[in-house]
Structure 1
Amino acid sequence: MNSSPPPPPATGHRTPSHGLHHRPAVLVTGAGGPAGIAVIRRLMALGHRVVAVDADSAATGAALATAGFTVPRADHVRFVDALIGVAVEHDVDALIGTVAEELPALAAGADRLRAAGVATWLPETASVEVCCDKAAFARAMRGADVAHPATTDTATGLVSVPGPWVVKPRAGRGSRGVQLLDSRAAVVDALHRDPSLIAQTRLTGREFTADTLVARDGELLTVVPRWREETKAGISVKGSTFDSVAVTDVVAGALAAVRLTGPANVQGFVGDDGRATVVEINPRFSGGLPLTLAAGADVVSAHLAGIRHPDAPLPHLWFTPGVRMRRYFAEVFTDADGVPVPDPSAVLAVGSTDRAGDEVPA
């Protein structure tokens, strides 16, 4: 007899799906993050039924999807149970995870998800763990001779890491906990006070992110580099795509070194001498994904095809260099029951005013 407590119920809203109930749905996790929202918006634009889930009951992506639900965090013992419950109720046949920290839990539950009719494409847990541990990632890059900043997780190792330095948590996302330090004594003090930190040589040059997709057999299907021209809280808000053999080569080497498959975003710098260096890999779609999609590389559709048809070959994806993105705030509105409330600005047409802000006559 199973004495485990019942799984926490998934709570959320249902949005009319306009006659699409006969089509299987896609379950997207991490509906509150920029990557999850980007995936949800792309799938909805293509006419898919999308069920969005997040541990945050106010996740924005839940309001953008066909249906949205609140589920436990990935470290909860009933996380996978809650996903299966939502999936069965809403005829889900594919799952896309957009949170790196959830991937090990999803991989552990992949057989149960498959038994419930939900297909997945998840990277090896060992690959995810290396990507999520900046010290382990540095060792992997060094072992594969991939350009990467000198790194240490101990004060004694700082002798081989030239300054100036960037000190940051060995596990974490965005710019959380990042310190830019110019004094060796300050770095040593930081490492002594918090053993979870690492120190790296601070790179100079232009910062890039490359959105990538690697087939299940390890074939690199696309690398879409984009300049991170302006960021806020670690998320790109202005950027442009570009083509670079040096970036493509170093990105390919880094992905091969960690044996990652599926979607990923690789971050790094291009120095004044044109040399490209990788800083980290996030084993998931990126927050800047909309720019890659706008440039023509539909990595979301290709990834979904690879989930639903794991033995079918996937195409190489091309993109247009020079596509620019400028990101702005947008809002969604719901009432107390989660029912959508009309956007008061939705009727305004882009370009209805001239550059000086005057109304353009009809």
Structure 2
Amino acid sequence: MTEINVLILSAGRRVELIQAFQKAGQKLNIKSNVVAGDCSDTAPALYFADRTYKLPFIHDPNYINSIINVCNNEDISLIIPTIDTDLLLLAENKIYIEKKTNAKVLISDLEVIEICRDKVNTQKFLEKNNFSIPKMYNDSELLSDNVKYPLFIKPISGSSSINTFKVNNKKELNIYRDIINKSIIQDYIEGEEYTVDVFLDFESNIISIVPRLRMAIRSGEISKGKILKDREIIDNITQLMKILKPIGHITVQLMKTKNGIQYIEINPRFGGGAPMSIQSGADSCENLFRLLMGEKLEYNENYKDNITFLRFDQSVCLDENMELL
């Protein structure tokens, strides 16, 4: 029986993702342990994993070596990042980690990560390659009386919609610029917001593209979503991926507006709502196992269309010894 062990970093609340990997392993009759690591020993996902490790904080000098130790202890085949702050560090250390272990790091090339993690870099990349994105304003333009409000402000390297604001006038703009240390300011746009889950193999070949209408959002993460095989989105994302060339599971956010598709951001990792696409049939976890077993995958749209997902919280109860009841 094939054995493929997976390490999920910063596991946090990613219970659905852990269960998706476990389910995929069972389906393929793979001997697999899903190992969860986190800096907090009360991260809920730890209590659903097959093995658990408490890791240092990401900025700790021992963080990378701690990952290497876990990989060697647990014979890890694949390392999965789940949060934005991990990405640059893992991309910079990918070769080192893979040399010291038998694991593959599911991270795109450093150039791709640098484009995606910096909103200004994302803006310039999309503009250069003729993809629509809300206009970005520089300081001199913002001093002009000709600026039309509302605008939108967000951190250059932010995530989870933290410190993102609609700006209605110059007074608000000054307040928000004081709050956010390094920001990007764009036109405020309206329309239907989509998250698109894309899966690409290790050579950046597209395997699946799943648009999800964001029906409701909580703390920057989708809480209600609907899978829609929108041909315009699928075709546009296909063009984008062929130029960007990431690998693995990629999460793209965009809006369909009266002026067409407008991109918001690109997150080169599993997004919080990825289990919706996985459950619809575009199973990135199964795809990863198959790739690691040497299979060649082809592009397909073999996932259910027009289905709605409603997400909710669930509690984990621990006894006085911090063990699962």
- TM (normalized to structure 1)? 0.80
Matched, 1:26 2:10: no
CA apart distance, 1:98: 1.7
Counterparts in 2 of 1:99 and 1:40: CA distance versus 1, 3 Å: same
Q: After superposition, give the CA deviation of every residue in 1:263-285 in whole Å (9 maximum; x if it has no partner).
A: 11100111246x22111011101
CA apart distance, 1:250: 2.7
1:121 paired residue number = 106
Counterpart-to-counterpart distance in 2, 1:111 and 1:335: 42
Matched, 1:107 2:53: no
Paired residue type of 2:298: P
CA apart distance, 1:100: 2.7
Bigger mean CA offset, 213-222 vs 234-243? 213-222
CA RMSD of aligned residues (A): 2.3
Matched, 1:147 2:132: yes
1:98 paired residue number = 82
1:279 paired residue number = 264
Q: Which of 158, 168, 179 is the aligned partner of 1:172? A: 158
Q: How does 1:78-227 map to 2 (within 5 A)?
A: 78-114=62-98, 115-152=100-137, 154-158=138-142, 162-188=148-174, 190-191=176-177, 194-227=180-213
Counterpart-to-counterpart distance in 1, 2:321 and 2:65: 25
Matched, 1:52 2:36: yes
Q: After superposition, give the CA deviation of every residue in 1:122-176 in whole Å (9 maximum; x if it has no partner).
A: 2011211211111111111110010111113x32133697431111111111221
Q: Which of 259, 268, 271 is the aligned partner of 2:254? A: 268
Paired residue type of 1:32: G
Paired residue type of 1:315: E
Paired residue type of 2:69: G
Unaligned runs of at least 5 residues, structure 2: 27-31
CA apart distance, 1:246: 1.6
CA apart distance, 1:332: 1.9
2:298 paired residue number = 315
Counterpart-to-counterpart distance in 2, 1:81 and 1:336: 32
Larger Rg: 1
SS in 1 for 2:79: strand
Paired residue type of 1:74: I
Unaligned runs of at least 5 residues, structure 1: 1-19, 342-362
Counterparts in 2 of 1:86 and 1:334: CA distance versus 1, 3 Å: farther
**Matched length:** 315
Paired residue type of 2:222: S
Q: After superposition, give the CA deviation of every residue in 1:237-260 in whole Å (9 maximum; x if it has no partner).
A: 111100112212332333344332
Q: Is the 2:81–2:106 contact (alpha carbons within 8 Å) kept by the matching residues of 1?
A: no
Counterpart-to-counterpart distance in 1, 2:232 and 2:147: 24
Paired residue type of 2:272: G
Paired residue type of 1:31: A
1:292 paired residue number = 277
Counterparts in 2 of 1:73 and 1:168: CA distance versus 1, 3 Å: same
SS in 2 for 1:149: coil
SS in 1 for 2:34: strand
Q: Is the 2:196–2:251 contact (alpha carbons within 8 Å) kept by the matching residues of 1?
A: yes
Counterpart-to-counterpart distance in 2, 1:40 and 1:74: 20
- Identity across matched positions, percent: 21
Counterparts in 2 of 1:330 and 1:193: CA distance versus 1, 3 Å: closer
Counterpart-to-counterpart distance in 1, 2:10 and 2:85: 10
CA apart distance, 1:189: 5.5
Q: Is the 1:267–1:280 contact (alpha carbons within 8 Å) kept by the matching residues of 2?
A: yes
SS in 1 for 2:104: coil
Bigger mean CA offset, 187-196 vs 263-272? 187-196
Whose helix proportion is higher, 1 or 2? 2
Q: Is the 1:31–1:54 contact (alpha carbons within 8 Å) kept by the matching residues of 2?
A: yes
